[in-house]
Chain A
Amino acid sequence: MKIICLAKFIPDVDHFVYDYERNVLVRENMDLVLNPDDACALAYALALKKNRQDVEVEVLSMAPLSLLPNLKELLRLGADRGVLISDAFFSGSDTYATSCIIARYLADAQYDVILSGTHALDGDTEHVPVQVAELLGLDHMAYIVRFDDDSFLNGTCVFESEFDNANARFRVRLPCVLGVLAESRYKLPFVRYENLDLNVDDRVTVVTNEELGFSHEEVGIAGSLTKVASTWQPQMKKKEQVIVGNDDEGIETVFQFLKKEGYMP
């Protein structure tokens, strides 16, 4: 069984540096990490591969070539193959054009299921997998928090989705596109010590427009019909630090703070 995992790399928002004086995000030296929901999807795929010898995992990402090392790290985790769709020709593509590009690659690919994250943490681009499914004519479900142990047997997948504070179980026919939530807590492993320097070059493919054959009007800025009406910079305030003593007054201050913030009844 072959699983293709869609992977988006985003800025590491847990470790960003903010310049409060200029009110801008400091992007220099910022790490890029795998989108948390995508990471859970891949984590599930790799865990399944570990338990089932017939499972093959391919990671598919559309990103600049500079992210090739990030993709290779995912292969060192245990993915069998990595595909990076990357071409300056695609620069400026909006989510619809991006979906078209990814779908065209997938149209000729072999797979039983496509896994992705449900949300993208850096810009609400969660509709890309949905659009990809639509373009491929596949069913799509998201908000998955747990797969049943017998999923992907007998041509179906059984899972539990969590949406609007309700959980529901579904059985979906393969092939399909499935979106996993970070709340699933499927955890991506770390690269093992012996694989840190593993050469995975022969398992990585870079796909350009030469293979996909889009025209100038279909992708990039010209092919992107989404127009940005306006943008704004969120104003972030430096949090005030209050130091209290280890005494009754200090305890009262902490108590009142927790109460105000809703941590205490």
Chain B
Amino acid sequence: MDNQKILSDLSKFLTPEQINTNADDLYDARADRYKKYAKAKKVVDTPSPTAIVYPKDAEEVQKLLEYCNANQVNVIPRAGKTATEGGLENWKEHTLVIDCKNLDKIVKIDTYNMQATVQAGVQLQRLEDELRPLGYTAGHSPQSKPVAQYGGLVATRSIGQFSTLYGGIEDMLVGLECVFPDGHISRIKNVSRRAGGPDIRHIAMGNEGSLCFITEVTVKIFKYYPDNNKFYGYLIKDVDTGIKVLREVVANGYRPSVARTYSEEDAKQHFYHFHEGKSVLIFMAEGPLGIVNATGEGIEAAVEKFKDGIVKQVDSKLIETWFNHLNWSQQDLDDERQGMIDNDKHDGFTTEISADWETIPKIYYNVVNRIRNEFPRAKDITMLGGHSSHSYINGTNMYFVYNYDIKAEPEDEMRLYHHPIQTIIVEETLKLGGSMCHHHGIGKYRNQWTEEEHGSAYYMLEKLKAAFDPNGIMNFGTIFPQAEGVKYQQLDKQ
């Protein structure tokens, strides 16, 4: 099997417009945002895929997967292209990137039953734009909202900025259609709830393209009450205070759509116009007026309880304005890319973890101390902090954010900076029983810890892989560690 033969075979069941072999596009498909700097500098060393293909329906996906399965061709499912952990990086000479560009139909918006069905390539923003005039919202708002597509959101267990009220994608997903490597098409029906054995939505959800290809999803929709929105912002003494107030609000049963606390360093970059060198705590309450008012009272009561740690309240308009400019668009991504080419620097990296309320502050301080004291290039760090942005009844997440002067060639940046920092974050998190991946997925650069993340339950993951993808053609190296991939991970000298 060689790439020419693959292309020749593809032409038997796809039109020329559905097969992309443009050199620039194939270079772009070598890696995702994990290697954003090396990619912008044109030094990514992983192989280009054979082609990017654009099926028009589940049946064409079926043919593609059957072909790849029979011929040992690696498959990278792609929808939205905003991956940050190497999930879209290619490690195989013979690879098809199956892109959801042509799976772009909004199949049905059903306001009575409060659900919408879309194909995998529908952008979240597009559905939201359709829902808003009807008085509804998808309730999902990751920072990548203008670019992200539903197939990718579901495949990576995405979460959005309003998750404390609406939940993560797992709380929104009703049913889906997906295709397995052997060509079997499964449709999981759309029901409000059922007890029909294990919840099989979770086999597809979060599979990161390593088990199946998602072609269609049905998600819940919600009534939208923008006029009732209330914003709250506070300067606070430290991260601990912020976590305590978040816990108080959520544990008391309130569900603000946004509940966040930022470390001093992180607050400095987000709230440069009012942070005053302090940590920041913010809330947004939305929904029916009665609920918003009650939520507001709950927030104020929690703040009052921990008033010793509250420095002062800030103008709510500042918080509202900030929220309205939070998402990054394709233009923002393009601007960052050009900035990397011109200025040899980028906007930094993030690593997101989760744990229970008690453990999160410990992880935060352990991580920051270790990075400051053990990371060999600590003096190059220009920013190191974090924020908690998604809270649950029993815990929250911590979104570590960091940037540095890149004193390395683009080829070496990740193994000299991001990966060693991420390693410290993951090690400290796993040591205290947290999860190393709150919402970015495992991708290819956290797969070295997949087994440790899952412990004895890793058995279940392995069995799923063996059952659904026995030939190992689905997104080689993603989630599941592969010896052959180590040369690309370049982790040998950490």
A residues adjacent to B (C-beta < 8 A): 189-190, 192-193, 243-246, 250
Q: Among residues 396 to 435 in chain B, which have CB atoms less than 8 Å away from a CB atom of chain A?
A: 407-409, 411-412, 415-416
Q: List 20 A-B contacts (CB under 8 A).
A: A189-B409, A190-B407, A190-B408, A190-B409, A190-B412, A193-B408, A193-B409, A193-B411, A193-B412, A193-B416, A193-B490, A193-B493, A243-B274, A243-B276, A244-B273, A245-B273, A245-B318, A246-B273, A246-B321, A250-B273
CA distance A245 to B318 in the complex (A): 9
- A-B contacts besides A246-B318, A246-B321, 6 pairs, CB < 8 Å: A190-B412, A192-B412, A193-B412, A243-B274, A245-B273, A245-B318
Residues of B within 8 A of A192 (CB): 409, 411-412
What residue in chain B is nearest A197 (Cβ atoms)? B493
Residues of B within 8 A of A189 (CB): 409
* Binary contact track B313-336/A, C-beta < 8 Å → 1, others 0: 000001001000000000000000
Q: Among residues 263 to 291 in chain B, which have CB atoms less than 8 Å away from a CB atom of chain A?
A: 273-274, 276
Interface size on B, residues (CB 8 A): 14
What residue in chain A is nearest B407 (Cβ atoms)? A190
CA distance A243 to B318 in the complex (A): 14
CA distance A140 to B411 in the complex (A): 38
What residue in chain B is nearest A193 (Cβ atoms)? B412
CA distance A190 to B407 in the complex (A): 7
What residue in chain A is nearest B275 (Cβ atoms)? A243
Residues of B within 8 A of A243 (CB): 273-274, 276
Residues of B within 8 A of A193 (CB): 408-409, 411-412, 415-416, 490, 493
CA distance A208 to B490 in the complex (A): 42
What residue in chain A is nearest B344 (Cβ atoms)? A187
Residues of B within 8 A of A190 (CB): 407-409, 412
Residues of B within 8 A of A246 (CB): 273, 318, 321
Nearest-Cβ distance from residue A244 to partner chain B, whole angstroms = 7
A-B pairs, top 8 by smallest CB distance, nearest first, are A193-B412, A190-B408, A190-B409, A246-B273, A190-B407, A192-B409, A246-B321, A193-B415
What residue in chain B is nearest A250 (Cβ atoms)? B273
Residues of B within 8 A of A245 (CB): 273, 318
CA distance A192 to B276 in the complex (A): 40
Residues of A within 8 A of B273 (CB): 243-246, 250
Residues of B within 8 A of A244 (CB): 273
Nearest-Cβ distance from residue A4 to partner chain B, whole angstroms = 25
Residues of A within 8 A of B276 (CB): 243
Residues of B within 8 A of A250 (CB): 273
CA distance A245 to B271 in the complex (A): 11
What residue in chain B is nearest A243 (Cβ atoms)? B273
What residue in chain A is nearest B322 (Cβ atoms)? A246
CA distance A189 to B493 in the complex (A): 21
CA distance A159 to B321 in the complex (A): 53
